[in-house]
């Protein structure tokens, strides 16, 4: 019996390692393809400019999916955490005097950490609420952050911060996007992730079997806030300017739309939806005045066709195997 169990565990670990190798190989291949396309001049300027926003949107969508999809708590304050990261990173790099790579890396970490700290401060009292109440409070938090940076001198007020170093490029965006995917996917596949999903499926049952509900809810919320802050740093150092209007409630809704379109609780779905909704506005740019109208029509059509998310649709059609993005050995 013991030999059989050990054999099953060994086979499972071998399968996990094989999946990890395949996933990492795909990651490396995609990056090499990006390098060839960009350096070879195959991508035009417009297409090249979408690579960083695409990575940022993937980070935002996957991190929000941890809270909304896997934890089952609707948060509308993601743009607030993004703003905290953007302003923190920008203020640091504008005043620091270090080598570019070191300065930017510290700015990224600092932006994520400060956003995570605010995640703790907000999460402890707020996560006792559920459903619509939690959504309203987190929406209010995002608007409070936007109002604060609108009136604070250190953030540049309504004019925002300008002349931020343009450190963000497709390499930084791609590497941080992959780190985000690996961290959140392994978390979801670990025993912590199973506890988080148990809370989503049945709050009372999870609590009755000894799961520390508050602890896991705060953990998921803080991790999501951290990566939203990191995305904010990338955003600020890509556009070279951050303004309060960039982080209003519309931004939170935009991120939520990506998560819903990709499928709640689906990391691959979030990636696919983020790519599509980053490219779509640029594809419709030629429509001029009808651009946003067409965008809304296309979005509604996609939601009607794809109500269960891209991941579920692809799995049902057999075009996407039911394999996790990165398998985890956690139990």
DSSP 308-331: T-HHHHHHHHTSS-S--SS-----
Q: What are phi and psi of 161, to 5 degrees?
A: -100, 130
Q: What is the pLDDT along the chain (331 residues), one digit of tens a residue?
A: 455 544 554 555 555 456 556 666 777 787 788 778 777 777 777 777 888 999 999 999 999 999 999 998 889 999 999 999 999 999 999 998 899 999 999 999 999 999 999 999 998 888 877 777 888 999 999 999 999 998 888 988 889 999 999 999 888 999 999 999 989 988 998 899 999 999 988 888 888 888 888 899 999 999 999 999 999 999 999 999 999 999 998 999 999 999 988 888 888 888 888 988 998 888 777 776 777 787 788 778 877 776 555 555 555 555 554 444 444 444 4
Cβ atoms of 306 and 313 closer than 8 Å: yes
Cα 100 from chain centroid?
25
Residue 134 has what pLDDT? 85
Which residue, among 288, 284, 259, 295, has the nearest Cα to 274 in the 3D structure?
Answer: 259
Q: How many residues does the chain have?
A: 331
Which residue, among 90, 62, 16, has the nearest Cα to 179 in the 3D structure?
Answer: 62
Cβ atoms of 142 and 75 closer than 8 Å: no
The whole-angstrom separation of Cα 130 and Cα 136 is 10
CA of 288: how far to CAs of 48, 53, 64, 283, 292, in Å? 21, 21, 31, 11, 9
Residue 145 has what pLDDT? 93
* CB within 8 Å of 20: residues ≥ 6 apart: 326, 327
**Helices and strands (H, E) in the chain, number of each type:** 14, 2
The whole-angstrom separation of Cα 28 and Cα 32 is 6
Which residue, among 96, 78, 30, 45, has the nearest Cα to 224 in the 3D structure?
Answer: 78
Which residue, among 223, 234, 111, 110, has the nearest Cα to 171 in the 3D structure?
Answer: 234
Residue 28 has what pLDDT? 76
Residue 170, class by beta-carbon neighbours within 10 Å (0-12 exposed, 13-18 middle, 19+ buried)?
Answer: buried
* CB within 8 Å of 320: residues ≥ 6 apart: 268, 311, 314
* Per-position DSSP letters for 179-237, written without gaps between them: HHHHHHHHHHHSHHHHHHHHHHH-HHHHHHTT--HHHHHHHHHHHHHHHHHHHHHHHHH
The whole-angstrom separation of Cα 289 and Cα 143 is 29
Task: Quote the DSSP letter at residue 238.
Answer: H
Residue 311 has what pLDDT? 56
* CB within 8 Å of 137: residues ≥ 6 apart: 126, 129
The whole-angstrom separation of Cα 60 and Cα 39 is 27
* CB within 8 Å of 118: residues ≥ 6 apart: 80, 81, 84, 145, 225
């Amino acid at each position: 019996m013991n030999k059989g169990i050990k054999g099953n565990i060994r086979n499972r670990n071998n399968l996990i390692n094989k999946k990890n190798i395949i996933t990492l190989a795909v990651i490396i291949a995609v990056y090499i393809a990006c390098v060839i396309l960009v350096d070879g001049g195959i991508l035009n300027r417009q297409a090249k400019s979408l690579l960083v926003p695409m990575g940022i949107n993937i980070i935002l969508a996957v991190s929000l999916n941890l809270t909304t999809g896997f934890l089952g708590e609707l948060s509308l304050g993601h743009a607030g955490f993004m703003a905290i990261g953007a302003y923190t990173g920008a203020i640091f790099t504008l005043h620091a005097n270090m080598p570019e790579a070191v300065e930017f890396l510290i700015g990224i970490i600092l932006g994520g950490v400060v956003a995570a700290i605010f995640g703790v401060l907000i999460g402890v009292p707020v996560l006792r609420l559920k459903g619509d109440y939690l959504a309203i409070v987190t929406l209010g938090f995002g608007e409070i952050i936007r109002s604060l940076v609108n009136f604070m001198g250190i953030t540049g007020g309504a004019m925002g911060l300008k002349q931020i170093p343009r450190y963000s490029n497709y390499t930084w965006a791609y590497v941080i996007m992959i780190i985000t995917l690996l961290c959140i996917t392994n978390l979801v596949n670990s025993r912590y992730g199973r506890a988080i999903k148990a809370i989503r499926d049945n709050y009372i049952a999870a609590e009755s079997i000894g799961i520390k509900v508050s602890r896991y809810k705060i953990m998921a919320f803080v991790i999501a806030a951290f990566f939203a802050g990191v995305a904010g740093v990338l955003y600020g150092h890509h556009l070279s300017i951050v303004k309060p209007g960039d982080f209003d409630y519309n931004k939170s809704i935009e991120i939520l739309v990506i998560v819903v379109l990709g499928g709640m609780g689906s990391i691959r779905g979030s990636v696919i939806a983020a790519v599509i909704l980053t490219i779509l506005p640029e594809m419709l740019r030629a429509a001029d005045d009808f651009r946003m109208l067409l965008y809304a029509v296309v979005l509604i059509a996609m939601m009607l066709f794809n109500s269960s998310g891209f991941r579920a649709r692809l799995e049902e059609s057999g075009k996407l195997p039911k394999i996790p993005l990165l398998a985890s050995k956690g139990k």
